[in-house]
Every structure is written in C-alpha cells, then in structure tokens.
Structure 1
Amino acid sequence: MTASAPVPFSWDGLGIYKKEGRFLEGYPADERTFFSPRDDIHGLLVAVLGTAQHSIVVNMFGYDDDILNGIIQEKLSDEKVFVQMSLDRTQAAGVHEKAILAKWQNDGFGNSIAIGTSSVHNAISHLKIVIVDGIYTVKGSTNWSLAGEQQQDNELTLSRNPVIAAETRAILDLNHDFMLKQMAGTKLNVAALMAPTAPASLPPLPPVPGESPHI
C-alpha cells in the first residue's frame, strides 16, 4: 500500500485532531496530549511522519499500520532522510508484520533497521516512540495499529522540546545498538537486512582535509 499525500502539519493547528477541536487553556507550550479512541491519533501520526525532512527514529512495539508504513517506505527511499527503526522481535514475527518488513530497504543509504529484544533478560522491547527531525517526540501507550490508534484506550503525547528529544534519542540509540549486535550474534538470517559491500554500492568518502572537494 502506498502512503497518502502528507497532511500539512502545524503545531498551532493540532486542535483538529482533538474531539473538541481545541486544547484546554493552560496546556504547556511545547506539549500536546491525545487519547484514543476519542481523538484522531491516526491522523496525527500521519501528519507528524509526513512532515519529516531530516530524520525519523522509531522504537515500536506493534507495527501494523499500512498507512504509516507507507510513509516510512517513502522516507526509506529518500537519501536525504535518515531512518532508524528498532522493532520488538516477538511482534515482528506476526504474519502482517512480516509482509510489511519484507518491503523495507535497509540496504539503502541512511537506513538502519534492527529487530530484537530489551537488553535485560531478553524481555520485550515495549517502547512506542518516534522522534521526527530531532524535535518532535511522540510517545505513550499507542502502538502503530488501527486498533491501537482508533479502538483501544490509549494515550499519546507529542512534544516539541529538543531536550526531551535528545534524551529520548540517546535511549533509542542504545536500544538500537543492542538489537544490531543481538542480530549479528544469533542464528537469525540477517542477510536481507545487511548493507551491500560491493564498491559501486558504497557511499563516497568525504574529501581529505585541506583539499577542495571535486565539483
């Protein structure tokens, strides 16, 4: 399934995703909270992901939304956008999830995908977080499925605080690093997720310091 056209994203216009059409007075300036099935969490996620210009970093337990995956697919094909995804191994084993993962372009420039567990006792990786462009942090109890976004009782908080984004990114990077090493150290067939090693497929090296780059 291909992604729909990105929905225009405006922080001041996020009230359209609330059932009441607005937020209560006194909300923190850099934070907005939504609840399913009351609010339009699916529409909000489509808008936030669609606005990504530089990076998308995901750590998700439950990845089963074709529309959101379509947007991720577009970003995976865009070499200007870095995409890092960490998925729980038990959830990624589902039939629908397997069909989604088969279409990913992990060998593309700027893409890194890992599937694994928590770093402690191989427990599930239960985070449901995405960081967009190093600014917008989305987290809460909502997984990426239409049931989670539209039927179940879930909460989702969107922050535009760069300190929150930086702290959260450090945690997601640690999780991602562990999953990559976990994949390399097991008998899991990761050939399809490995980057190609042929010289023609490698990105160019940066110029030597002091030398002018070739134009």
Structure 2
Amino acid sequence: MTDTPAATFSWDGLGTYKQEGRFLEGYPPDERTFFAPRDNLHGLLVALLGTAQHSIVVNMFGYDDDELNAIIQEKLADEKIYVQMSLDRSQAAGVHEKEILQRWQNDAFGNSIAIGTSSVHSAISHLKVVIVDGVYTVKGSTNWSLSGEQQQDNELSLSRNAVIAAETRAILDLNHDFMLKQMAGTKLNVVPLMAPTTPDQMPPLPPAPRSATHSRTTTPAAPATVPPTGGEADG
C-alpha cells in the first residue's frame, strides 16, 4: 500500500490515487471509481474532505478513521461550514466510536449530528455516503475505517454531478430527520415518518399545516336558503 500523498484535491489529478496512476480512457467525465485495497481510498477521502468550503453531509455505517474524524472536527469548529452527520446506532456504540463521538460539538452553530437507525423496522443505517459542498458525492461499500479503506475488498465511487448530489442529499436529509426524532425520545410519534414497506405505498409525507387542520374542524357554513316555489326572487 502506498503512503497517503499530500492532501491536495484536483479532479484532473485523481489518477494519483489509483494504483496505476491514471484512469482508463473513456471514463465518464463526472465519475471516478476506486477499489480497496488496490487504490489509495484513504488519501482520496483526506484530500476531498479537506477541500470543503461550504458543507459536509455524511451518512456513515462504520465511522472509525481518526484522520478523517480530525478533518470533520476542524470543519465542525468552522462556523462558515455546515456539517451534518447521520451515524448508525449499532456502530456508534463501539468503544472507539464512542471516543470519537465525545469530541464532537453537536450544539455549535452549523452542526447537526444524529445517531439512529433506518426508518424501517429499526434496521441498520448501512449507507456509506458523503456529499461535499453540494457537488462531490462519494458512495460505495467503503466504511470510514483503515481496514475498510486499505484491507477489505471495497468500492468507492466519486461523482461531481450536482444533480446526483441533490438527489442523494434529499435521501440523507430524510434519514437525518428520522434519526433526530428517534433521539428526541418516545414522546414523538415517528410512525407516520417511517418509509413505506410495500411498492404501492407513497413515501412519507409531511404533516398537514396547522391552518389546514383547523379549517377541517370548524363548523361548516349553513347552506344558502332556497326560495319556496312560486315565491318572489330578487331581481
């Protein structure tokens, strides 16, 4: 395994993180794919996270990489950068994960951290996704751990397509909202927010506005009076 290069990120220079030093001809212009343990996934993630200027949005199953966490912490301390993290409850309960969690600043301005499960039957939140600055989207099978990045057989895809980033962000925001409500406690009814379990069901919808609810409960207006047959009507 090659050493992690200096944390510089350039789309045209991403071949440096490939074992061969380049990509095959004909690669889609907005997509790049990497494989562990063959390629330098850790170095790529270090470089990408370090470039964040506006936002980092993470939904991660395994979170156990001290160097990536240090970069996230630096961004958490920067009030100009929004950081949103959604972590799986079972993974965040690990000893090393707990140590990492204790160093976070969830109550600081621009930070939102949630720990929970999937919205279906409390299943694990198994995504390994990060979106940087609303443009770069990382997906794949790679957990944020040195074993996941450097030892296991894993795939990591990087996109710079803003449409893909927007679609993915909507999913991550729904997951994050559900986890926040889980953390708030059992007083909140999360059942209406759970994802559908059959193909013909609609996605979870937001509750009706208070004004709409009020209008449905008010007494309906009396029907207009109809003049009796043969009576005089207004001209």
Interval containing the TM-score (normalised by the shorter chain): 0.7 to 0.9
CA contact 1:6–1:50 (8 Å) conserved in 2: no
Aligned twin of 1:45: 45
* Deviation of 1:185 (Å): 1.8
Q: Deviation of residue 175 (structure 1)?
A: 0.1
Name the residue aligned to 1:138: 138
> Which structure has the bigger radius of gyration?
2
AA paired with 1:80? K
The equivalent of 1:126 in structure 2 is: 126
CA shift at 1:72, angstroms? 0.1
> 2:77 is matched with which residue?
77
5+ residue gaps in structure 1? 188-215
Q: Deviations over 1:37-91 (max 9, x none)?
A: 0000000000000000000000000000000000000000000000000000000
Other structure's SS at 2:115 match: strand
Aligned residue for 2:15? 15
Deviations 1:147-187 (A, max 9, x none): 00000000000000000000000000000000000110249
How many pairs were matched up? Answer: 184
Q: Which residue of 2 aligns with 1:155?
A: 155
**Alignment correspondent of 1:100:** 100
The CA RMSD over aligned residues, in Å, is: 1.5
CA shift for structure 1 position 5 = 11
Cα distance in 2 between the residues matched to 1:56 and 1:151? 26
2:108 aligned counterpart, secondary structure: coil
* Counterpart in the other structure of 1:200: none
Describe the SS at the equivalent of 2:174: helix
Tell me which amino acid in the other structure corresponds to 1:38.
Answer: R
Moved over 6 A (4+): none
**Deviation digits for residues 72-121 of structure 1 (CA, Å, limit 9, x no counterpart):** 00000000000000000000000000000000011110000000000000
Q: Matched residues in 1 for 2:135 and 2:16: separation?
A: 21
- Unmatched segments (≥5 aa) in structure 2: 188-235
2:86 and 2:115 in contact (8 A); partners too: yes
The separation in 2 between residues aligned to 1:7 and 1:115, in whole angstroms, is: 29
Structure 1: distance between partners of 2:51 and 2:114: 23
Q: Is the 8 A contact 1:82 1:111 kept in 2?
A: yes
Q: Determine the structure 2 residue equivalent to 1:166.
A: 166
* Distance in 2 (alpha carbons) for counterparts of 1:29 and 1:94: 39
Tell me how far apart the structure 2 counterparts of residues 117 and 8 of structure 1 sit (CA, whole Å): 34
The residue type paired with residue 91 of structure 1 is Q
**Counterpart for residue 180 of structure 1:** 180
Query: What secondary structure is seen at the aligned counterpart in 1 of 2:34?
Result: strand
Structure 1 residue 6: deviation in Å? Answer: 7.3
Structure with higher RCO (Cα < 8 A, 6+ apart): 1
